[in-house]
């Protein structure tokens, strides 16, 4: 019997372009829980300890902030995105 391991998208977030595309797709869902989880995946891919340090939060708090059903404050999300070198941009939904 073949052994498989669970898919972990963090393993594929190995470039700034891949990270930006991943987060853009998450943002397009407009689902706050999904977006928070996606930011958490990116933080894991970059290393939670260094992201927490750069964001000015504890590692434990970062896990809590980006955990399941978390409702992080927008200012915290912005600190984490800044630590990930991610800049949010806006575009019209009307094509």
51 is a domain residue: yes
To 10 degrees, the CA torsion angle through 70, 76, 79, 80? -10
pLDDT digits (tens, 9 = 90+) for 5-26: 899 999 999 999 999 999 999 9
Query: By residue range, what is the domain housing residue 44?
Result: 13-83
CATH code for the domain in which residue 70 is found:
1.10.260
Whether the full predicted model's pTM is greater than 0.85, yes or no, is yes
89 is a domain residue: no
19 is a domain residue: yes
Residue 95 pLDDT more than 80? no
41 is a domain residue: yes
72 is a domain residue: yes
Mutual angle of helices 48-55 and 74-83, in 10-degree steps:
120
4 is a domain residue: no
Q: Residue 93: its pLDDT value, please?
A: 82
* Domains contained in the chain, number: 1
17 is a domain residue: yes
């Amino acid at each position: 019997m073949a052994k498989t391991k669970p898919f972990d998208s963090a393993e594929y977030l190995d470039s700034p372009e891949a990270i930006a595309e991943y987060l853009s797709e998450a943002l397009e869902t407009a689902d706050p829980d999904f977006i928070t989880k996606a930011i958490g995946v990116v933080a894991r891919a970059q290393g939670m300890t260094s992201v927490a340090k750069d964001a000015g939060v504890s590692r434990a708090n970062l896990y809590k902030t980006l955990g399941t059903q978390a409702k992080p404050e927008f200012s915290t999300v912005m600190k984490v995105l800044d630590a990930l070198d991610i800049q949010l941009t806006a575009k019209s939904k009307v094509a």
